């Protein structure tokens, strides 16, 4: 494109453009290549992939969500499929590999229909009708999981047993070492869900997922995983003598510092004798001690401070 004899570049220099059937086939090919990469990691005989990033870090996995996140995809059509996989993972938590492989298979069939001269609009309409029929059949063949009153021990165990069957098909495809570890993880997941479940008036339950947090720590093994009925803070205590675990905690949340702040005004203190230095430090310590005593006076035994904590205050 030129304006007044001066060339204007809309696209980056060196960019190639395709259109029509050529562009359509290139998009289908890119999506199918991505599907072929993930296909070998699908199912009980699926193989692990070894991924090496630009920093040389190695990831070994057969999880579709992890694979698509680690891949550096450039083609726009393949990127669209990657975003689809990420959306499935965010919404459902599983099935990313199946979604990509299914999309690749649908595009492969669509390409054959294109070769027969069928217009893309007709193919899309056919797929939409097929999707509606598939959703209808899924509702017909779906197996309802009986969820009893989890507050009653007998019904709680029965519901737990049914949910375990579902969890096994999901967790068994992940990189979990032994059956005993798998069983432990399933118990933890179910107990966490039961704890965060809120009963509705109609007898069903709503699990508040935002009440469940997963904290990962390096070192140890999966056997060291535990379920904590409380709050876990992935922070260091400010003093080594402080406890790492507190039962029946009364927590004080502070958005102000536990230290003496510098005044906004410009001030100058003249100290001429050692006694004045001692008095100055003692007054600072008294102010900090008063702060700590006020917190202790309300019964708080855990203090979470958004700002700084003075070294002197840490020792009280």
Q: 89-147, pLDDT tens digit by residue? A: 888 888 889 999 999 999 999 999 998 989 999 999 999 999 999 999 998 898 887 77
Q: Is the pTM of this model over 0.75?
A: no
The CA dihedral of 169, 171, 173, 179, to the nearest 10 degrees, is -100
CA gyration radius for the chain? 30
Q: 200-258, pLDDT tens digit by residue? A: 888 788 888 888 988 888 888 888 889 988 888 888 888 788 888 888 888 888 888 88
For the chain, list the domains and their CATH numbers. Answer: 18-141 (1.10.560.10), 153-224 (3.30.260.10), 251-314 (3.50.7.10)
Environment class of 30 (CB within 10 Å of its CB; exposed 0-12, middle 13-18, buried 19+): buried
The DSSP bridge pattern shows strands 302-305 and 251-254 to be parallel
Rounded to an integer, what distance in angstroms lies between the CA atom of residue 53 and that of residue 60? 12
The answer to whether the CB of 256 falls within 8 A of the CB of 313 is no
């Amino acid at each position: 494109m030129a304006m007044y004899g001066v060339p204007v570049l809309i696209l980056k220099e060196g960019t190639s453009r395709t259109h029509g059937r050529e562009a359509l086939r290139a998009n289908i090919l890119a999506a199918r290549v991505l599907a072929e990469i993930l296909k070998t990691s699908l199912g009980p005989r699926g193989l692990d992939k070894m991924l090496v990033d630009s920093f040389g870090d190695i990831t070994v996995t057969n999880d579709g969500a992890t694979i698509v996140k680690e891949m550096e995809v450039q083609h726009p059509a393949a990127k669209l499929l990657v975003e689809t996989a990420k959306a499935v993972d965010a919404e459902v938590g599983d099935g990313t590999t199946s979604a990509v492989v299914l999309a690749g298979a649908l595009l492969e069939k669509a390409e054959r229909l294109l070769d027969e001269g069928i217009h893309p609009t007709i193919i899309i309409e056919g797929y939409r009708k097929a999707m509606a029929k598939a959703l209808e059949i899924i509702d017909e063949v779906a197996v309802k999981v009986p969820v009893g009153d989890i507050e009653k021990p007998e019904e709680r165990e029965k519901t737990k047993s049914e949910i375990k069957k579902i969890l096994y098909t999901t967790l068994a495809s992940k990189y979990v070492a032994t059956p005993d570890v798998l069983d432990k993880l399933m118990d933890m997941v179910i107990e966490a869900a039961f704890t965060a479940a809120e009963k509705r008036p109609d007898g069903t339950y709503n699990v508040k997922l935002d009440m469940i947090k997963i904290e990962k720590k390096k070192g140890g093994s999966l056997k060291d995983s535990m379920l904590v009925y409380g709050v876990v803070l992935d922070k260091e205590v400010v003093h080594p003598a402080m406890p790492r675990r507190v039962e029946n905690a009364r927590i004080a949340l502070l958005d102000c510092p536990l230290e003496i702040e510098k005044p906004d005004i410009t001030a100058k203190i003249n100290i001429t004798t050692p006694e004045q230095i001692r008095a100055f430090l003692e007054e600072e310590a008294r102010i900090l001690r008063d702060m700590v005593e006020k917190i202790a006076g309300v019964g708080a035994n855990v203090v979470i401070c958004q700002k700084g904590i003075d070294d002197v205050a840490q020792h009280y």
